[in-house]
Amino acid sequence: MKSLLATLALTTALTLPGLAMARPVSMTTTLNNYGGDGAYLALYVTDASGAYVGSLWMAGGKSKYYEHLTDWYRATGGDTAQVNGITGASVGAGRTFEITLDLADALFDAGYTLHIDAAVEDMRDSPNEVAIPLTTSGAGTPVNGRRYVAQFAYDM
Amino acid sequence: MIRAIHRWPVLLALALVTVLALSGAALSVFPAAERLSAPQPAAGLTVAALAERIQTAYPGVEQIRRSPSGRITAYWFDQGAPGAAVIDPATGKGMASADPNKTERWLTSLHRSLFLGDGGRIAMATGAAAMLLLSLSGAALVARRTGGWRHWFAHLRGPLAARLHVEVARIAVFGLVLSSTTALWMTASNFDLVPAGVGIPSPIAEVSGETGAALVMMPTLGGTPVAELRELSFPYPDDARDVFTLKTDRGIGYLDQGTGALLGWSDMTGWERVSETIYMLHTGQGAATLGLVLGLMALGVPIMGATGALIWLAGRRGRPRIRGNQSAARADTILLVGSEGGSTWGFAATLHAALMDAGQSVHVGPMSGFAPERYTGAKRIIVLAATYGDGVAPASAKGFLDRMKAAGRAPRVPMAVLGFGDRSFPAYCGFAHAVVAAVQAKGWPELMPLDRVDRQSPQDFARWGQALGEALGLDLKLSHQPIVPKAGKLTLVSRRDYGAEVQALTTILRFALPPVSLWQWLTGTGFARFKAGDLIGVMPQGSAVPRLYSLASSCLDGFIEIVVKKHPGGLCSGLLTALEPGDSVTAFLRRNPGFRPGRGSAPLILIGAGTGIGPLAGFVRDNKRHRPVHLFFGMRHEDSDFLYREELFDWQDTGHLSRLVPAVSRAARPEYVQDALRRDGGQIAALIGAGARVMVCGGRDMASGVADALAEILAPTGLTPAVLKSEGRYVEDVY
């Protein structure tokens, strides 16, 4: 466990490219047709006590909007360094967004939860849109989001 | 230079700026509409009371937001389904859909990024930068044109397009500067170029872990009026460690859901306040009236774009190419041009060609490039100087006077100055006079005394050319055709002759309206649109110089009417006075916007003699709104040259004309118009004191006599003809 945390502290992200103790995990997020601009999505992980561990991905490039991803913003203090190098474009309504990351094995079946915060301009903020425990058995089982996310699933 | 800065970005960014302005104007309506439709909470309503009401109506409430317009929106979860509504603060219940307005969203995307994401944002920011540059350079031009910043709202004259351009600009520029500056800030903020970021409350206490405090028991919520609320987010239902998040105008804080205690607070940073103010100034959200005003000002942009393009095209068309220009060092004649709109360059080209034909080597250049030390081979310097505004140097003569003053000892090269201007302006050829004064102060030898060309008159120019030819010992013929207007064929319908019995034939010629093409009709060119007081030019055979006649009718009258007096040996008047119905003549239209009665109900004092009655009769005929009109009409014989006699009496009966004062110079009691004016001096002074407008048309001697008489009449009131002229209340059409 200590080594994992040390690794986390080093990379700030939870991805460990090219390491034997990591495996590729593909995450698929499908958005509703909520009738608005592109959604900002923050994908991050908390531990069993609910404390923020690290970010996996930030969909949305303008940091001035990050405050609307309220839980993520509160957990990180709006620190853009948390998503340096793991930031992409926002996701349009009705679109499907897929990423594949090399996640550390130690993240699975250890009480970690993956969260998605979502926000859309001029529409409600939706923190904790998705909260799904990271387990090997849960892979491939889609869950529904609260407002903007129609469906989310991770596969490995 | 300012002109060049002002022009090029216009053409490049015109389309972009127009899209920005129109979408911005459309968007400005939404905050005002929202402000009007949003019910305002009762004074003293606290966030606690409001939140309590909403929670009663929607137990699953998650977030309450208040927009700058005061509109309150609630978001909730009910049995797993999200809901939202605009809330009536009096009941806490939903009253309208909270879905964002599709049109507004669409317009916003267009306005800030052309639907193109970051690339579009940069393009639109470039448009905003262009708008700012245009506004600032345009403001400098307006100040120059009106004669300084203190005269910002001075009365304007000139062609309609140019006038409209400045009229709109000097009001809209304030809004455009504000909108474009704030737009640039917002774009910079969007690309993280200015500091931003919302403060995070630093925890001052631990979460209690309890739940269930009543909203009304939370002191922070109870102490916050709804008017200060931005946003209140509720904790997750099953998470005892979650908190209430409250955002107000002052900052952001966390509240414990079990005890209601304030767990942390962060005041809004200075940068946030600046950003918010700028956002408000740009969008009008929270300042709806300002938004509407800015939107209205933005509507001026397409008008200024169109008129600006017209001005530019007119300037381009008016500037001819000068062939075979000699270098300044080798030329024996240096021809310096001070032109604003480009028409003086046309005269320069004509003079250049004529001097070249006469075997001279000529260098043509702008007055601003004046460099006497380079004129090593020069035998003479000729200056053609237009005037801008109130005697100011025109664009291509900027800095001439300074260079002149700074120049060393005057070389023995004689100089001639020809001024171009409009006699109806108070500072007629004012800049040319300033140049002559500077030349004399420098002790420069004079080739010829100052001469002046009124309203691009080819006759004036030809006359001066003759004098120049004599001074140089050359046979110089300057036949200048300023602009080549599209001529049409006019067919005579009727003629009425006067004065034939006293060997002074004067005739009122009435022509049919020529057919107008669709293009002319759309653009208002040719004979599609004209007013009494405009001019028609007739080109007699064997002359390249058109003769101009004032129109006595407007296009609405359905005919073209002029008054022509036959001059002994007159080429053009001979041709016209010989026309019989059915005959036709080729003519073009030239606008004369400086000589119009204008709108309004102020009395008109029309003063004319001889054929000068023409446009004045046209004004009376068009006076359908029965504005008080006093007509002083000078003639020789009451029997032979009382032009428009029957109509004038009729118009008195119908109320088109209030008073007719004929002045007959060859009668038992001879009288000129100026005598008639003096006789009625008291009344005239009273009329002018009450805002009357004076319009004079006729010969030059008559006009100066009238000016002297008016000066006497007005002396007791403290007004002078010069003051009236500067106010645009005293205009002349003199020939």
Average of per-residue pLDDT across B113-127: 89
Note the pLDDT tens digit of each residue in B613-658.
999 999 999 998 899 999 999 998 888 889 999 999 999 999 999 9
Which range (A16-30, B36-50, B679-693) has the least confidence?
A16-30
Fold equal for B319-472 and B604-734: yes
pLDDT at A2 over 50: no
ipTM of the prediction greater than 0.85, yes or no = no
Q: Which residues of A touch B65 (CB under 8 A)?
A: 124
The verdict on a CB contact (< 8 Å) between B75 and A124 is yes
Report the pLDDT value the prediction gives residue A11, as an integer from 0 to 100: 44
The whole-angstrom separation of Cα B239 and Cα B209 is 9
What are the strands, taking DSSP E only, across B389-501?
415-421, 451-454, 488-498
Higher pLDDT among residues B574 and B393, named by residue? B574
pLDDT at A64 over 80: yes
Q: Which residues lie below 8 Å from residue B433, measured CB to CB, with a gap of 6+?
A: B391, B419, B450
Size of interface A-B (CB pairs under 8 A): 47
B236 lies within 8 A of chain A by CB:
yes
The whole-angstrom separation of Cα B544 and Cα B113 is 55
Specify the 3-state DSSP secondary structure of B520: helix
| CATH class assigned to B604-734 | alpha beta
DSSP states of B611-667: GGHHHHHHHHHT-TT---EEEEEEES-TTT--TTHHHHHHHHHHTS-SEEEEEESSS
Contact B235, B77 (CB under 8 A): no
What residue ranges do the domains of chain B occupy? Answer: 2-32+116-195+276-311, 40-89+206-268, 319-472, 488-590, 604-734
Of A36, A64, A77, the CB nearest to B190: A64
Helix intervals (H) in A1-148:
2-11, 70-76
Q: Hunting for tokens 């008080």 — which residue is that?
A: B628
Average of per-residue pLDDT across B701-717: 90
Domain count for chain A: 1
CATH number for the domain harbouring residue A83: 2.60.40
Q: Hunting for tokens 């080429």 — which residue is that?
A: B571
Report the pLDDT value the prediction gives residue B2, as an integer from 0 to 100: 61
Q: How many CB atoms lie within 10 A of CB B580?
A: 7
Contact B527, B519 (CB under 8 A): no
Note the pLDDT tens digit of each residue in B305-323.
888 887 777 655 556 677 7
pLDDT at B24 over 90: yes
For β-strands A52-59 and A87-88, DSSP reports them as: parallel
pLDDT at A152 over 50: yes
Note the pLDDT tens digit of each residue in B26-54.
999 999 999 888 888 888 899 999 999 99
pLDDT at B525 over 80: no
Contact B144, B155 (CB under 8 A): no
Specify the 3-state DSSP secondary structure of B192: coil
Tell me whether residue B303 is exposed, middle or buried, using C-beta atoms within 10 angstroms of its C-beta: 0 to 12, 13 to 18, 19 or more: middle
Which range (A65-69, B197-201, B347-351) has the least confidence?
B197-201
Name the residue type at position B543. S
A18 lies within 8 A of chain B by CB:
no
Q: Nearest C-alpha of chain B: how many angstroms from A24?
A: 31
pLDDT at B101 over 80: yes
Which range (A18-27, A119-128, B270-279, B549-558) has the least confidence?
A18-27
DSSP states of B34-54: HHHHSPPPPTT-BHHHHHHHH
Q: Hunting for tokens 């909007």 — which residue is that?
A: A65
The helix (H) or strand (E) run that includes residue B288 is helix B288-298
Q: Which residues lie below 8 Å from residue A131, measured CB to CB, with a gap of 6+?
A: A113, A114, A115, A116
Q: Which domain holds residue A132?
A: 2-155
Note the pLDDT tens digit of each residue in B465-488.
999 999 988 888 888 876 556 678
HEC sequence for B571-621: HHHHHHHCCCCCCEEEEEEECCCCCCCCCCCCCEEEEEEHHHHHHHHHHHH
CATH domain B319-472 topology? Rossmann fold (3.40.50)
pTM summary value: 0.60
CATH of span B488-590: 2.40.30.10
Task: Give how far Cα A131 sits from Cα of A76, B83, B134, Å.
Answer: 17, 20, 53
Report the pLDDT value the prediction gives residue B320, as an integer from 0 to 100: 67
Report the pLDDT value the prediction gives residue B341, as an integer from 0 to 100: 59
Q: Which residues lie below 8 Å from residue B11, measured CB to CB, with a gap of 6+?
A: B309, B312
The verdict on a CB contact (< 8 Å) between A37 and B105 is yes
Note the pLDDT tens digit of each residue in B167-207.
999 999 999 999 999 999 999 988 888 876 666 776 666 78
The verdict on a CB contact (< 8 Å) between B200 and A74 is yes
pLDDT band at B588 (very low <50, low <70, confident <90, very high): confident
A81 lies within 8 A of chain B by CB:
no
Q: What percent of chain B has pLDDT over 90?
A: 40
The verdict on a CB contact (< 8 Å) between B233 and A35 is no
